């Protein structure tokens, strides 16, 4: 049964790489039987793997937050939108790459726990699916957030420029009108 479990774990990993937002469904009846037949106790190793992933991913999120805050502060002080946009694109890609590497390591560790505890393979498959689905939603939210920051700042700068231009155009028109009608 361990070979079928490994196959199911790899199917799940590959599915989430290709279609991160669609739920995983066990592809064949043999792997589906693993999920239904083996729902043994929660191995301590499973808890350790999940805790380790949580700590690493939480650290990554904290680093991402600090990096983005620093980039926003640099943008405020240096006003270099091109540099900001480049850094945000690099951070978006780096966040995806780091998450992908963490998920690969998670799957490797969970697969080993399943091999060591065949009585809990169904639970491990379910756990892997839940973690991956959750993490993919978080990563997509981060990617969308970073993309929106850049788009919103660009839009705000364009709008601010138009407002400045319109304001001073109106003031100049009022001044001209005032002095044109004063006598």
Rounded to two decimals, the pTM is 0.72
Distance between CA atoms of residues 38 and 119, nearest Å: 5
Q: What is the pLDDT of residue 17?
A: 80
**Quick check: helix, strand or coil at residue 1?**
coil
Of 17, 31, 28, 27, residue with least CA distance to 122 = 31
Q: Is the pLDDT of residue 27 over 60?
A: no
pLDDT tens for each residue of 63-110? 888 898 898 888 888 888 889 889 988 988 888 788 888 889 999 999
**Averaged pLDDT of the chain:** 82
pLDDT tens for each residue of 32-74? 555 555 567 889 999 999 989 888 888 888 888 889 889 888 8
Distance between CA atoms of residues 55 and 49, nearest Å: 10
**Sign of the alpha-carbon torsion through 138, 71, 73, 162:** negative
- In the chain, the percentage of residues whose pLDDT exceeds 70 is 90
Distance between CA atoms of residues 26 and 38, nearest Å: 14
For residue 20, give the DSSP letter: T
Q: What is the pLDDT of residue 111?
A: 95
Please check whether residue 104 is in contact with residue 16, taking contact to mean a CB–CB distance below 8 angstroms.
no
Q: Is the pLDDT of residue 29 over 60?
A: no
């Amino acid at each position: 049964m361990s070979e079928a479990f490994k196959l199911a774990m790899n199917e799940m990993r590959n599915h989430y790489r290709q279609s991160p937002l669609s739920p995983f469904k066990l592809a064949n009846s043999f792997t589906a039987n693993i999920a239904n037949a083996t729902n043994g106790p929660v191995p301590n190793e499973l808890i350790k793997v999940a805790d380790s992933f949580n700590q690493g991913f939480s650290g990554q999120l904290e680093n991402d937050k600090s990096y983005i805050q620093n980039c926003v502060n640099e943008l405020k002080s240096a006003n270099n939108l091109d540099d900001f946009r480049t850094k945000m694109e690099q951070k978006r890609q780096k966040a995806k790459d780091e998450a992908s590497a963490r998920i690969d390591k998670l799957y490797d560790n969970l697969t080993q726990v399943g091999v060591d505890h065949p009585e809990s393979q169904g639970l491990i498959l379910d756990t892997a699916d839940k973690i991956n689905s959750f993490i993919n939603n978080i990563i997509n939210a981060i990617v969308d957030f970073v993309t929106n920051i850049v788009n919103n700042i660009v839009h705000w700068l364009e709008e601010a420029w138009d407002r400045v231009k319109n304001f001073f155009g109106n003031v100049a028109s009022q001044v001209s009108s005032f002095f044109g009608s004063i006598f």
